[in-house]
Amino acid sequence: MLFHVEMTVNLPPDMDPDKAAAIKLKEKEMAQQLQRDGIWRHLWRVVGQYANVSVFDVRDGAQLHEILSSLPLFPYMDIKVQALCRHPSSIHEDDR
Ligand SMILES: O=C(O)C[C@H]1C=CC(=O)O1
């Protein structure tokens, strides 16, 4: 099942820079592993914002929640989720 996810990062401006760097590094490692696993299908930067637009391929909303809430940046992100399904005019057979 595909989900469109928008994440906006709001790190506290007074957060210790070393702590922020460590969180971002852990987030990057996890994001890249989830991409290698085929779960985090798309990851795009929103131009001009500390935000991304992503597509996740997961079993259901419960699995997506489990993944999103385990991200190191989760406590510092506003997250919007929309469930997706195949568009009848899509020519891409792999869209689910
Ligand atoms: O930078 C971001 O958009 C937040 C988050 C998503 C992937 C990652 O590495 O960090």
Domain positions in the chain are 2-84
> Hey, CA dihedral for 61, 65, 50, 78, is it positive or negative?
positive
Residue with tokens 């070393």: 18
In this structure, the chain runs to a length of: 96
- Check pocket membership of 6 for ligand 1, CB cut-off 6 A: no
What are the pLDDT digits (tens) for 42-65?
A: 999 999 999 999 999 999 999 999
CATH T-level assignment (fold) for domain 2-84: Alpha-Beta Plaits (3.30.70)
ipTM of the prediction greater than 0.95, yes or no = yes
Tell me the H-state helices in 1-96.
17-36, 61-70
Burial of 64 (0-12, 13-18, 19+ CB in 10 A): buried
Residue 18 CA, ligand 1 centroid: distance in Å = 17
- Of 9, 33, 49, 78, best ligand 1 pocket probe by most atoms within 8 Å of the beta carbon: 9
pTM of the predicted structure, to 2 decimals: 0.94
Ligand 1 centroid distance, CA of 27 (Å)? 6
Portion of the chain with pLDDT greater than 90, in percent: 95
